[in-house]
Amino acid sequence: MKRRTPSRPAETPSTASSDVNVLTVSEVTRRVRRALESAFPGRVLVTGEISNFKIHASGHSYFTLKDSGSEIACVMWRSAVASLRFRPADGQEVIVAGSIEVFEKSGRYQLYAQQIDPRGVGALEMALRQLREKLEKEGLFSPARKRPLPRFPKRIGIITSPTGAAIRDMLLTLERRYPCVDVLVLPVRVQGDGAASEIADAVRKINAATSALGGIDLLIVGRGGGSTEDLCAFNEEVLVRAIAASTVPVISAVGHETDFTLADLAADVRAATPTAAAELAVPVRLETLDGLSLTQRRLTIGVQRRVDLDRRTFSHLARRAPFREPEHLIRRREQRLDTWLADVLRALNARFHDRRRRLQRTEQLLSRIAPDASVAAGTRRLHERLARLHLAMTGRLLRIARNLDQRAARLQRGAPAGRIPRLSELLNDARRRVALALHQGLDARRRRLEAAEQLLNALSYRSVLQRGYSITRLKKGGTLVRDAARLSDGDRLVTEFAEGEVESRVVNARQRELFET
Amino acid sequence: MNPKPTFEEALQRLEAIAEQIERGQIGLEESIARYEEGVQLIRHCRDVLARAELRVQQLQIDDQGKVESRPFPVAAPPTAGDAPPR
């Protein structure tokens, strides 16, 4: 601290003032830093040979840049390392872009590399890089812009040279894989002055003509391999923009696997080669046909399973009682029919017997009050008619029963399980119709019988009146008067004679003798 | 349903139908109706795939957008004019 600078002793007489010229290490370093920063403001480009290139676990890279006379320590941060487009190696002549800065802690100056390029790329490469950065910033290469390719294109546009290996490779590949596609070739020059504009123009024109051409599903833009200079049309802004603006999805296919152009970056999909582009563009026809066969099998198996399932459900149902034994079902119906027929017959018989009894009673009464031959003949006829009617009805019922039996037998013979519900309905229907016919027949006959009976009754008592008898009824209710004791004073009577009738009133009910016969 | 579906639409519809039928959640009659639709679609797709010869046209589009086309030979031999491979 107290040492003086020997070169200028006179100008620093006091310790305090001499201390002004004594610098701390930190001050020196700071001054060096300031001096360096003003000597190398901002970005510098340094050329040299790489040595000791290392990437640490942290991802940062450390290396030395040297030439025959000197060397400089270099640092490249992880983020910059990640954006390297090639792999730096010892011995490579490169140009490093970065800043010269002082690392104060160790007092060392270093080159902080932001970018490393192999030497000899020249201004063209630089310009390309600048264009790439510009378009990248505009988002032209953004993955979000990429569209999926149609899986089964109908029509493909190819923009390339009509005479190169590229078009031949693409067409052969398309024909081999998927010949059912339509191809439209738009011939262009793919290298030389104006090639980029011509290709860009073609991209725009085919986009504009899409609907006139019946729709285009996909464009392939490209060419075969060539030198970097040959491929440079595909790095020109006009073409890159045209590809990015295409409404039809674009596959780029420029050169070989190792060639990367800006057109590749702008395209929806980059193909390594023209052949690869054709492979990306279409599926394989035979595989697609196989897929269809598989789908058809799936459909058939699916429906078959559905049918089996329903059949199982059906046979499960069919096993249940009514369906399992259709004969049983029919027999039960038959039994019911038999019972019902018996019921009808019984009712019919009962009705006939009832009629016959009533007829016999009337006959007895008539023969008692008027043993008239004509009445006897009438009742006899009535008896005969009743007997005939009985016979006819019974016969008819038996015929119906026989008919039903035959029908049931027929049903039983030809009755598969599925027809049972319909057959039983048929039986029901037959039964309904039989019942209706029987009922109507019985009704008509009963009406005729009753009419005959009434007529007979009327005739029989009228014949008694002809012989001088009369009949007296109560006016109210029309009850026959058989006993004078049941009459009261004031009761109105109607007396019927053979010809006409007369109305009278009871004046002395106690004089019973008057009415006794 | 669209009477003339694109190939891709037809395949999508087919896949949907196959899934419907396989899941068995539709009834027999519906299954059979879907099956018939599926078979129609498969026939349509097979028709599309039936062509075994690539059709290639060469286009000429002028500045007014007018299109002219003529057949382009598929197996055109490579001729001079294209850059030689590197």
pLDDT in tens, A73-99: 999 999 999 887 777 788 888 899 999
Contacts of B25 in chain A (CB under 8 A): none
pLDDT of residue A187: 95
pLDDT of residue A370: 57
Q: Cα–Cα distance between A159 and A168 in angstroms, integer?
A: 13
B7-23 vs A285-318: helix axis angle to the nearest 10?
30
pTM for this predicted structure: 0.50
Please report the residues numbered 22 through 51 in chain B whose beta carbons come closer than 8 angstroms to any beta carbon of chain A: 22, 24, 28, 31-32, 34-35, 38-39, 42, 45-46, 48-51
DSSP class of B80: B
pLDDT of residue A89: 80
Contacts of A253 in chain B (CB under 8 A): none
pLDDT of residue A506: 87
Q: Cα–Cα distance between A41 and A453 in angstroms, integer?
A: 144
Confidence of residue B82 (pLDDT cuts 50, 70, 90): very low
Residues 6+ apart with CB under 8 A from A177: A278, A279, A282, A283, A284, A285
Q: Token pair of A210, please?
A: 């899409």
pLDDT of residue A496: 84
pLDDT of residue A299: 87
Q: Can you point out the beta strands (E) in B1-86?
A: 55-61, 67-71
Q: Which residue ranges in chain A fall short of pLDDT 50?
A: 1-2, 5, 9-14, 123, 515-517
Contacts of B54 in chain A (CB under 8 A): 171, 174-175, 179, 181, 183
pLDDT of residue A202: 95
Q: Is the ipTM of this complex over 0.90?
A: no
The more confidently predicted of residues B49 and A359 is: B49
Q: Is B35 a residue whose pLDDT tops 50? A: yes
Percent of chain B clearing pLDDT 90 (strictly above)? 20
* Mutate which: A184, A220, A234, A304, vs B, most B CBs within 10 A: A184
Q: Token pair of A182, please?
A: 């339509």
Q: Token pair of A495, please?
A: 């007396």
Q: CA end-to-end span of chain A, whole Å? A: 184
Least confident of A336-345, A488-497, B19-28, B57-66: A336-345
